[in-house]
């Protein structure tokens, strides 16, 4: 799935999680930011495709393979490997929260006590991890390709997912459902006091409905996007994914989404 939809899936998780703690607007903004970062985090392993990867990281770590080879291989630092695992989400979540703690300890004038800080920062850790898991869930229905899925249970060498129910990108319908849930969760409780009083129930319900709708969309694609290794049908599959969106969204909405897609500098 594309990086924007991944990041926003983390944002959606955060809009719900924020209602579970007594959050001030600033704290809520921090929770949402961490959720968005967590949603994008696993694709940090796509850095090997960066044009300067070989000259910087390749030289620094004395790597014997080029970034392009690393990307499509099954090294622990390849795409869909360690960084797409449950253990990486927990480790990097802990690293992030520890960094925030150290930063605050050095720069804050207030006395910071570790136990109270752990309690107040637990939400950041939880949101980061859950957002990264939303990313992993989003990658499961993409094709096996050269990896055979994602190494969700790393260090196990078994890759999971790779069903090819959806294409790598052009999943505008899923993107719109996620954006819709974010907008609803942020605005409705803010506008209506009655909803605000039951904000947890409301945001959890919206997130659950969104997940069900996404599952319906994923499982009702009319084209098959499954392939192993490389495929000569790549261009055809990509075209099919566009046709599929046109069918789902209708001509007008599809045209808007296509225009939006054209404005972005990455695959969407
Ligand atoms: Zn990914």
Instruction: Give 124's contacts (C-beta < 8 A, 6+ positions apart).
Output: 30, 31, 34, 96, 97, 100
- Give tens-digit pLDDT for 50-102: 989 989 998 999 998 999 999 999 999 999 999 999 999 999 999 999 898 88
Eight-class DSSP state of 201: H
- Give tens-digit pLDDT for 10-48: 999 999 999 998 778 999 999 999 999 999 999 999 999
Give distance in angstroms: CA of 46 to centre of ligand 1: 8
Give distance in angstroms: CA of 169 to centre of ligand 1: 11
Q: Where are the alpha helices (DSSP H) in 140-198?
A: 172-191, 193-197
- Give tens-digit pLDDT for 194-234: 999 999 999 999 999 999 999 999 999 999 999 999 999 99
pLDDT at 23: 72
Tell me how long the chain is: 268
Give distance in angstroms: CA of 142 to centre of ligand 1: 10
Give distance in angstroms: CA of 84 to centre of ligand 1: 6
Q: How far apart are CA 8 and CA 10, in angstroms?
A: 5
Q: How far apart are CA 192 and CA 175, in angstroms?
A: 26
Q: How far apart are CA 89 and CA 134, in angstroms?
A: 11
Q: What is the pTM of this model?
A: 0.94
Give distance in angstroms: CA of 129 to centre of ligand 1: 14
Give distance in angstroms: CA of 135 to centre of ligand 1: 6
pLDDT at 138: 97
Give distance in angstroms: CA of 42 to centre of ligand 1: 6
């Amino acid at each position: 799935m594309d990086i924007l939809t991944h990041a926003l899936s983390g944002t959606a998780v955060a809009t719900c999680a924020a209602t579970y703690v007594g959050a001030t607007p600033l704290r809520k903004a921090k929770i949402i930011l961490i959720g968005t970062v967590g949603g994008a985090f696993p694709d940090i392993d796509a850095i090997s495709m960066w044009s300067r990867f070989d000259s910087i990281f390749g030289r620094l770590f004395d790597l014997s393979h080029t970034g392009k080879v690393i990307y499509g291989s099954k090294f622990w630092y390849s795409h869909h490997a360690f960084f797409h695992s449950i253990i990486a989400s927990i480790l990097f979540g802990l690293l992030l929260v520890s960094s925030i703690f150290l930063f605050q300890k050095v720069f804050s004038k207030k006395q910071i006590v570790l136990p109270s800080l752990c309690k107040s920062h637990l939400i950041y850790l939880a949101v980061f991890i859950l957002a990264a898991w939303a990313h992993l869930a989003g990658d499961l229905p993409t094709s096996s390709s050269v990896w055979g899925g994602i190494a969700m249970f790393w260090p196990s060498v078994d890759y999971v997912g790779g069903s090819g129910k959806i294409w790598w990108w052009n999943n505008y319908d899923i993107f719109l459902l996620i954006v819709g849930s974010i907008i609803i969760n942020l605005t409705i409780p803010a506008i209506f006091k009655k909803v605000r009083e039951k904000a947890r129930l409301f945001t959890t319900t919206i997130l659950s409905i969104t997940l069900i709708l996404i599952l319906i969309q994923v499982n009702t694609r009319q084209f098959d996007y499954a392939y192993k290794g490389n495929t000569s049908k790549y261009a055809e599959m990509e075209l099919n994914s566009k046709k599929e969106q046109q069918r789902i969204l209708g001509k007008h909405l599809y045209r808007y989404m296509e225009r939006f897609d054209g404005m972005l500098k990455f695959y969407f």
